[in-house]
Amino acid sequence: MVSLKRALLFFAVIFFAVAPFATVHAVEEGHHGHGEQPKSQAEEIQEYSQHHLQDDYYFSLFTDKKAGKHYGFPLPVILIDGGLKMFSSGAFHHGEKVVEKDGQFYTLYHGKIYKTDAAGTLAFDEHGHATNAKPLDFSITKNVVGLFLAAALLFWGFISLAGTYKKGSNALPKGIGRALEPLVLYVRDEMAMPNIGHRYKEFMPYLLSVFFLIFVLNLLGLTPLGFNVTGNISITLCLALFTFLITTFKANKDYWKHIFWMPGVPVPFKFVLAPIEVLGMFTKPFSLMLRLFANITAGHAVVMGLIAIVYLFQQQLTIPGSIGVSLVLTLILTFLELLVAFLQAFIFTMLSSLFIGMAVEEHAHH
């Protein structure tokens, strides 16, 4: 009960901290400048798909193209630039206005905040990338909202499941706990115990956390809310870094001995293999990071591409059944994405347990 109160208090504090910034409203679509050619339908679809895959300072629910309005709510911008600066991302008006805060000017360009002047001047290099300085950014972006939502769902689910176990070993889970218990047992019996051995209980909290966090985030990415948290490489890097740190600091002496001075190997080969083994310490978390990021990003891109076919065929209705075929393919691929959502959580957790098991394994010496 104390843990539940603390969890509710934590999310209440977060909610009331964000609430002043998050007023739902409609923002008119801005003009794209004088003399700029209107975008084609294909260019609009590509821009929308890229926007879906990227993080954002504004939580867009949907856009009314006919009315020229975005429906959603702005998120709080938190910058460290000669002091703490906080304001609503709605002040940028989707990158069309410059924000002045404590004598400093900021502009939003291609999803990033840059320091500028009152006129919003940006300098670019030969590749077209902005070279203006960027403040230290701790903003509550759309991906952060997704993490908060996933954390709230996990707190709710696991506190409910833990409450069932307090009633005794014979008590049956109810509600969300009934769906969670088979997955908890699956992680324990199919991943932790076979790969780690008798020390599996020590690492179960981490394995359960990473499995359910990735799984829930992947499921949220399939909803109309449009989250793409696990498709952000900084998120997958952080998750992989936790696995690397746990593996490194929990490793026993046998693990380090097999890396730097492998037993049973001729001495000349030990000097050759040691650098390769050290490199392998870093390639393992790198593969975890890249695999999750690439698979989720590719899945979202394909789904968005198939959905876009519906809009492209609006001008080619003479093709019989074209829209129906697109909708069927999108539906099939969405079900496939449900499988991928579980599969990627399974692979990340399985490999993490395997790497941890290799680090804590006790070798028999004869």
| Per-residue pLDDT tens digits for 321-353 | 555 666 676 677 777 778 888 999 999 999 999
Q: Is residue 3 part of a domain?
A: no
Residues 157 and 60 reside in one and the same domain: no
Query: What are the pLDDT digits (tens) for 248-276?
Result: 999 988 888 888 888 877 888 888 888 88
**pLDDT digit string (tens) for 63-83?**
666 666 667 788 899 999 888
Of 139, 169, 192, the one marking the end of a domain is 139
Global pTM reads: 0.79
Q: How far is residue 92's CA from residue 335's CA, in Å, rounded to a whole number?
A: 38
181: number of Cβ within 10 Å = 15
Please indicate, yes or no, whether residues 164 and 263 belong to a single structural domain of this protein.
yes
Domain-located, residue 92? yes
In a domain, 184, yes or no: yes
Question: Who has greater pLDDT, 322 or 200?
Answer: 200
For residue 43, how many other CB atoms are within 10 A of its CB?
Answer: 11
Q: Are residues 134 and 153 in the same domain?
A: no
Residue that terminates a domain, selected from 139, 154, 180:
139
Q: Are residues 38 and 173 in the same domain?
A: no
Residue 7 lies in a domain: no
Same domain? 324 vs 191? yes
Give the pair of three-digit tokens for residue 353.
Answer: 């347990």
Quick one: tokens of 186? 């699956």
Question: What are phi and psi for residue 58, nearest 5 degrees?
Answer: -130, 130
Residues of the domain holding 312? 144-360
Tally of domains in the chain: 2
Q: Is residue 17, in this structure, part of any structural domain at all?
A: no
Average pLDDT, the chain: 79
Q: What's the pLDDT score for residue 29?
A: 44
Structural domain contains residue 11: no
Assess if residue 270 is contained within a domain: yes
Indicate the residue among 139, 158, 185 that finishes a domain.
139
Is residue 12 included in any domain, yes or no? no
d(CA 302, CA 283): 28
